[in-house]
Amino acid sequence: MSQAKNTSENSYQISTVGIIGTGQIGTTLARLSVRAGINVVLSNSRGPESLRSLIAELGPLAKAGSISEAIEAADIVVATIPLPNYQSLPAGELAGKTVIDTMNYYPIGYNIEDLDNNKFTSSELVQQHLIGAEVVKAFNNIPYPHIALHARPQNDPGRTTIPIAGDDEEAKGAVEQFINTIGYDTVDAGPLAESWRFEPMTPIYYWPYAPVVPEGTPDAEARRIYQTTFVDPLRPAAAQTLLKETDRKVPVGGRLDILPPIHLKLYEEFTKGRY
């Protein structure tokens, strides 16, 4: 079985990332991975045939596969599907793997009681399901257009910071290296039990990475502003402060009405015909 290995102190071999979910986040992380020279195996619920044009666009480092094939090939797996479907992730096959969890709880049309009453964070639930895997939460707090837009090489002054959380230090080390390689600095928010600090509606969620689109901006201009405007990079120290200076939210979960209409419009367009 392939798996990220600590080849020396603070160095992991990450040659292939397996991606489960080829929506806005999965495709964006695939693009950044390929750009950094990392192989990707992409999978979704519709099967590899649905990924033909995406694979052609991504080039020779990318392959489409079944979910099992994506997991088998991966040094790191990215699970980036809607949270209500997390229990469909194949726990047996993922055992022994490092799994990046990008998923967020938006309780729209469903509820999870253990999240509503703050018994667990959403990533703790994912970890409880994925017995034997090491779950690391990451990339859940930055909107997809801005993941692509803000990726920068190491030491670039425009490089921004995202938080990670996980219960296993080795797994966190591997994920940190992967994220550093594709364009971001990281800060450690602690174990999964602390990952509420960057769940939806917290200060480090969404707003530090997205430009303000003034209300009433005409559609074309709103698209341009939203998709191409850089915001000031979030430095690691500032990210740590945002993580520290937050309270656990009640009610739990994200709300769509606080996102700019252009974000929702782009999502609708992206998913058109799929759901």
Ligand X SMILES: NC(=O)c1ccc[n+]([C@@H]2O[C@H](COP(=O)([O-])OP(=O)(O)OC[C@H]3O[C@@H](n4cnc5c(N)ncnc54)[C@H](OP(=O)(O)O)[C@@H]3O)[C@@H](O)[C@H]2O)c1
Contact residues for ligand X (CB under 6 A)? Answer: 20-26, 44-46, 50, 67, 80-83, 85, 88, 102-104, 140, 143-144, 270-271, 274
The CA distance from 248 to 197, in Å, is 7
Nearest approach, Cβ of 222 to ligand X (angstroms)? 16
Of 12 and 200, nearer to ligand X (C-beta) is: 200
The CA distance from 175 to 76, in Å, is 8
> How many residues are there in the chain?
275
Of 12 and 136, nearer to ligand X (C-beta) is: 136
The CA distance from 261 to 48, in Å, is 32
The CA distance from 243 to 231, in Å, is 19
State the residue number with the nearest CB to ligand X.
Answer: 23
Of 66 and 154, nearer to ligand X (C-beta) is: 66
Of 68 and 88, nearer to ligand X (C-beta) is: 88
Nearest approach, Cβ of 25 to ligand X (angstroms)? 4
Nearest approach, Cβ of 104 to ligand X (angstroms)? 4
Of 24 and 39, nearer to ligand X (C-beta) is: 24
Cis? peptide before 191, omega within 30° of 0: no
Which token pair is 208?
Answer: 């530090």
Identify the helix (H) or strand (E) that includes residue 67.
Answer: helix 67-73
The values of phi and psi at residue 230, to 5°, are -80, 140
Nearest to 3 by CA among 68, 77, 61: 77
Nearest approach, Cβ of 116 to ligand X (angstroms)? 17
Lay out the sheet containing 16-20: strands in order across.
62-64, 39-43, 16-20, 76-79, 98-101, 134-137, 161-166, 185-188
Nearest approach, Cβ of 237 to ligand X (angstroms)? 23
Between strands 62-64 and 76-79, the pairing is: unpaired
Of 70 and 174, nearer to ligand X (C-beta) is: 70
Of 100 and 174, nearer to ligand X (C-beta) is: 100
Nearest approach, Cβ of 183 to ligand X (angstroms)? 16
Nearest approach, Cβ of 147 to ligand X (angstroms)? 8
Nearest to 241 by CA among 175, 197, 193: 197
Nearest to 102 by CA among 84, 81, 74: 81
